[in-house]
Amino acid sequence: MSEPQAASKKPQGDADKVVVTCALTGVLATRAQCPWVPYTPAEIGEEARRAHEAGASVVHIHARTDEGGPTFEPEVYAAIKRECEARSPVILNFSTGGMGPMEGRVEHIRQVKPAIGALNMGSMNYAKYSPKRRDFVFDFVFENPFKDISFLLRVMKESGVKPELECFDTGHTASIVPLMDLGLLRPPLQFSFIVGVLGGIRATAENLAAQAREAMLLAPGSQWEVIGISHEQWRMVGAALALGGNVRVGLEDNFYLDAAGTQMAKSNGDLVAKAVRMARDMGREPATVEEARRILSL
């Protein structure tokens, strides 16, 4: 497959630009695993600033309690938005992923209105296996039926929030077809291809290219990024850069600056800085916030 078949079609003048997103904190990462994972709104705001100064134009955020637990409280997201906006102009992307009633998982989108809202495009086994322990670290079914996806999209549409379509497998990507027919999605779309989660698609350049090609066939002119999990991250960043896609890095997905997992990043900014160096080595420049808004049709 040739590169143009999988590449996103960026607006004229932005062909060599790459939108770098940074996932600041996640829902599962803890300070026991990495001491620099931010929890409080002020800490998240500081990490957003570091990521932006290193070259990120978008930050993806899961709200946490001050003790590090997950929360969907709109008041916490509102505080995070204030702290981020006080420090940098970076574009805010709020998560809706998790467990519990859908109404609770989307109320912060309705009230706080980030530029982008992430949503999961299908159900799946979601697990992590430890060969060393010969046991599963965690193992659950991540349920996202069409009725829930449709509810999220309706709220985002009413709130003027751009949906980011998180696809863990090829069937998730193809799920846009009925949603476009219902008028819940309208191209150009924004896809995120998560690769390397047990239960989803494997992290290979071939699989990433296939996902990108399918998305561009179904929704021409759309944008996509790769989210490589754990030690797969840097190889997949390189593949996405070669294919003309955008990239996401950050402490939610990976703690390490090397594929072997020996050099831990001390901030999200460290991870963004490496992604930016990789992009420039391949002749691409990180998009500014203004350029990212245009590329992502915000």
Number of independent structural domains in the chain? 1
Q: What is the pLDDT of residue 102?
A: 80
Average pLDDT, stretch 230-248?
96
Name the average pLDDT for the chain. Answer: 94
Q: What is the pLDDT of residue 12?
A: 61
Q: pLDDT digits over 264-288, tens only?
A: 999 999 999 999 999 999 999 999 9
Range of the domain at 72: 3-295
Q: pLDDT digits over 2-25, tens only?
A: 444 566 667 666 669 999 999 999
Q: For position 291, which CATH number holds?
A: 3.20.20.70
Q: pLDDT digits over 62-101, tens only?
A: 999 999 999 999 999 999 999 999 999 999 999 998 777 7
CA distance 154 to 107: 12
Q: pLDDT digits over 156-202, tens only?
A: 999 999 999 999 999 999 999 999 999 999 999 999 999 999 999 99
Please report, for residues 57, 72, 79, 261, the alpha-carbon distance to residue 248 in angstroms, rounded to integers and kept in the order given: 11, 22, 24, 18
CA distance 71 to 23: 16
CA distance 278 to 129: 30
Place of tokens 């706080």: 112
Q: What is the pLDDT of residue 2?
A: 43
The CB-side HSE value for 182 (13 A sphere, CA atoms) comes to 15
